[in-house]
């Protein structure tokens, strides 16, 4: 993958460095399976922000791909929305950080095709399917990278 890249230039205040016109494309579905413990945390975060769970996960994935600066810029430019996706599309159905429990909660969201392709590219580099990669991103964003108390065995002292 010898893609030539130009040097990143910090955009002037109130602008983004990338063209996000691709967010106007018809969205495509993406399903992310989460452990119930993490789904409950996502629900709590979404409730605090008055967002559907799927929207919050879409924002986490966008920030992972393109950064928090651009996320905030896009949301400001687009009235708080990332694209043409339905506002709320969620479902529940019966790996990574297995100690959190089996990933039995699914969250269905819609993302721009380019966003999904960018996630698929990063997933392929890691040798993962897109849903597994997206789950890792959500877990890392919600729990952080340092060990989380949920990951310790009962009675195990994290100190």
- Report the chain's mean pLDDT, rounded to a whole number: 81
pLDDT of residue 96: 43
Q: Sort 114 into a burial class: Cβ within 10 Å, 0-12 / 13-18 / 19+.
A: middle
Q: Is the predicted pLDDT of residue 50 greater than 90, yes or no?
A: yes
Q: 54-64 pLDDT, tens per residue? A: 999 999 999 99
The structural domains of the chain, with segments of one domain joined by +, span 22-145
Instruction: Return the pLDDT at 82.
Output: 85
The neighbouring-strand residues paired with 103 are 35
Phi and psi angles of residue 79, each rounded to the nearest 5 degrees, phi first: 65, 35
pTM of the predicted model as reported, rounded to 2 decimal places: 0.77
Query: How many CB atoms lie under 10 A from the CB of residue 38?
Result: 21
Higher pLDDT, 90 or 113: 113
What's the average model confidence in pLDDT over 36-57? 93
pLDDT digits (tens, 9 = 90+) for 128-154: 999 999 999 999 999 888 876 665 444
Mean pLDDT of 1-18: 66
For 10, phi then psi, to 5°, come to -65, 125
Residue 45 has pLDDT above 80, yes or no: yes
The closest alpha carbon to 65, from 22, 33, 105, 12, belongs to: 22
How is the chain classified by DSSP, letter by letter?
A: -----PPP-PPPTT--SS--GGGGSPPEEEEEEEEHHHHHHHHHHHHHTT--HHHHHHHHHHHHHH-HHHHHHHHHHTTT-SSS--S--------TTGGG--EEEEEEEEE-HHHHHHHHHHHHHTT--HHHHHHHHHHHHHH-SS--GGGSPTT----
């Amino acid at each position: 993958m010898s893609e030539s890249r130009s040097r990143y230039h910090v955009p002037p205040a109130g602008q983004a460095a990338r063209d996000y016109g691709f967010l106007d494309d018809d969205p495509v579905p993406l399903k992310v399976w989460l452990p119930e413990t993490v789904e409950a945390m996502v629900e709590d975060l979404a409730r605090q922000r008055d967002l559907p769970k799927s929207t919050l996960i879409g924002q986490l994935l966008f920030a992972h791909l393109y950064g928090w600066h651009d996320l905030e810029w896009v949301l400001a430019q687009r009235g708080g929305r990332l694209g043409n996706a339905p506002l709320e599309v969620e479902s529940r159905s019966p790996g990574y950080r297995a100690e959190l429990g089996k990933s039995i909660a699914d969250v269905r969201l819609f993302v721009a095709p380019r966003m999904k392709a960018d996630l698929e590219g990063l997933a392929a580099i890691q040798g993962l399917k897109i849903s597994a990669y997206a789950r890792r991103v959500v877990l890392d964003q919600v729990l952080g990278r340092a060990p989380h108390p949920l990951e310790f065995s009962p009675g195990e002292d994290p100190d």
